[in-house]
Amino acid sequence: MGLIEDARNVAREFELSSEDVNKGVKEFIRQMDEGLQETGKSMSQIPTYVTAVPNGTEKGVYLAVDLGGTNFRVCSIKLNGDTTFSLTQSKVAIPRELMVAKTSQELFAFLAKQIGSFLKTHHNDHFEEYHQRRNAGEPLADEHFFQLGFTFSFPVHQIGINKGYLIRWTKGFDIADAIGKDVCGLLQAEIDALHLPVKVAALVNDTVGTLMARSYTSPGKTGTLLGAIFGTGTNGAYVEKLHKVTKLKKMEKQGGYDDSTGNMIINTEWGSFDNQMSVLPNTPYDDALDQESNNPGIQMFEKRVSGMFLGEVLRRAILGMMKDGKTKLFKDESSGTKDSNSTCTITDDSPLYKQWGIDTSFLSTAHEDQSQGYRITRQALSKNLGVDAASSEDAEAIKIIVEAIGKRSARLSAVAIGAVIIATGNLRLTAGDAMDDRQKPVLEAEVVDIGVDGSLVEYYPGFEQYVREALREIEEIGAKGEKRVRIGIAKDGSGVGAALIALVAGGREKE
């Protein structure tokens, strides 16, 4: 058997059939419903207490801050009321000593100080007017305060729109006395200590922010159904009917929320879909990756979809072929088509031999390579992976496996998107509507709007096309339903999205 056929055999291990996709959708919907009824399930289905999405007509100036890692970002967003906005921002590194401070007050005082500096620089007139009124003892109303959305990218137990208790620190932070405290309250206390005209209106998840940002900027009047991240990680947040979120009544310390819309945005945390592996595909490469990860048995959907893991799946598949004595990958007898008569060699410190050694950008390069003799892939093998003088057949074999891994990721992504569309009843197809009828124009009222963000969906070659192909194969969607799905990039969920959540949370009147 030749090398190319060997590669095709490996690629077949990653195939996800139409039957697999449809089974996945049904199980995804079941786990969504389960998560709405009880806590502690595979799919967390976290209530966000955000009960409305914007429609693009909102106006005003709102603040957003983002503590997502080693940097702290402060933004002001001016909403123009016509689906457009302007953004002003500053970013500062968190001093290492504050990441492990003795008290949370030290960190949050630093954050509040950055907000104050930002206001003095970019909104000084408002800042000075507020202080003049305050010093004169004049009454202060809501309009004298900026509403702020706080994106806090650490595990929290959220019990209200602007209340959430820190569960644990990650990303190098370790401040023991913050555990179990309300992070919005901690920030508000330090803002108040500096007498800043700011109210922490909302605790924000960046995936929910993606949904909000897309709903404000999307064309037409159709509200966005789903905000989804397909990048380093993957997650989705969608608009659910409030009466279906039955676990809300059972949750302790539950905060108040506006129930007049009849809706609530749910943060699915779908990276953990099917941790029990009842329908998710599995290969020896997936299995080995999971066993050697820092969270075995957890985030099983994410480990097959997101950019953080695709390179590692590929690395393990390549190593499997190299260790197979019958396979001729990177062995000179595999092909005579080289740039010269040099011998294929792999450096001892090649990233092929290191966990997480292959970046997803390599998959993008190989996937879209149409160069003669796969010259671009061979160059990438040499430059990025220490594989020198690989043959064109070697490169073609790698490309075949890459395409299979990338396509599986996109088709699994379609399982999540399709399940949300079906579970929420947003297509409302009648019998026979799922049949092919692509010539008929889609009316704006029929559009199902999806906002997406992340490196995979934005940059990976053919990702959206693969998603749409799989959507057409879903029984309840079909070609006609897929045509009604509008997918658009939604940037900056932690900036404009957070500001929009602050707007909804603050209940500010539209101007």
pLDDT digits (tens, 9 = 90+) for 394-404: 999 999 999 99
Mean pLDDT comparison of 279-293, 423-437, 481-495, highest-scoring range: 279-293
The region of weakest confidence among 163-172, 362-371, 410-419 is: 163-172
pLDDT band at 509 (very low <50, low <70, confident <90, very high): very low
Tell me, yes or no, if 153 is annotated catalytic.
Answer: yes
SS (H, E, C) 406-446: HHHHHHHHHHHHHHHHHHCCCCCCCCCCCCCCCCCCCCHHH
pLDDT tens, residue by residue, 353-366: 999 999 999 999 99
pLDDT of residue 436: 45
Confidence of residue 1 (pLDDT cuts 50, 70, 90): low
Who has greater pLDDT, 382 or 334? Answer: 382
* pTM (2 d.p.): 0.88
> 17, 117, 134, 168: which is the annotated catalytic residue?
168
- Please name the residue ranges forming H helices in 261-344: 284-291, 302-305, 307-323
Give residue 240's pLDDT band: very low, low, confident or very high (50, 70, 90): very high
Dihedral angle computed from the Cα positions of residues 40, 45, 51 and 57, in that order, rounded to the nearest 10 degrees: 150
Section 34-50 average pLDDT: 92
What's the pLDDT tens digit per position in 308-328? 999 999 999 999 999 988 888
Task: For 71, list phi and psi in degrees, rounded to 5.
Answer: -120, 155
Can you tell me the mean pLDDT for 495-507?
89
**pLDDT of the residue at 432:** 41
Phi, psi of 368 (to 5 degrees): -95, 5
Q: Is 137 exposed, middle or buried (0-12, 13-18, 19+ CB in 10 A)?
A: exposed
User: What pLDDT sits at residue 203?
Assistant: 95
pLDDT for 305 equals 97
CB atoms within 10 A of CB 291: 9
What is the reported pLDDT for 493? Answer: 82
DSSP of 264-280: EEEE--GGGTTTT-SSS
Residue 333: predicted pLDDT: 59
Of the ranges 44-58, 271-285, 331-345, the best mean pLDDT one:
271-285
Write the pLDDT tens digit of every residue in 210-230: 999 999 998 777 789 999 999
Element (H, E) at 128: helix 124-135
In contact, 67 and 111? CB cutoff 8 Å: yes
The yes-or-no verdict on residue 510 having pLDDT over 50 is: no
Mean pLDDT of 135-151: 89
- C-alpha 73/C-alpha 10 separation (Å) is 44
- What is the bridge-based pairing of β-strands 163-166 and 85-93? unpaired
Least confident of 46-60, 243-257, 433-447: 433-447
Average pLDDT across the chain, whole number: 90
pLDDT at 461: 96
User: Active-site residue 206, yes or no?
Assistant: yes
* 508 in active site: no
Nearest CA to 419 out of 471, 456, 458 is that of: 471
Q: Which of residues 359 and 142 earns the better pLDDT score? A: 359
Q: What whole-number distance in Å separates Cα of residue 366 and Cα of residue 444?
A: 38
Reported confidence tier of residue 472, pLDDT bands at 50, 70, 90: very high
Cα–Cα dist 299/32, whole Å = 15
Out of 6, 182, 206, 274, pick the active-site residue.
Answer: 206
What mean pLDDT do residues 460-469 have? Answer: 97
378-424 tens-digit pLDDT: 999 999 999 999 999 999 999 999 999 999 999 999 999 999 999 99
pLDDT at residue 374 is higher than 50: yes
Q: Which of 18, 44, 90, 153 is catalytic?
A: 153
What pLDDT was estimated at residue 431?
36
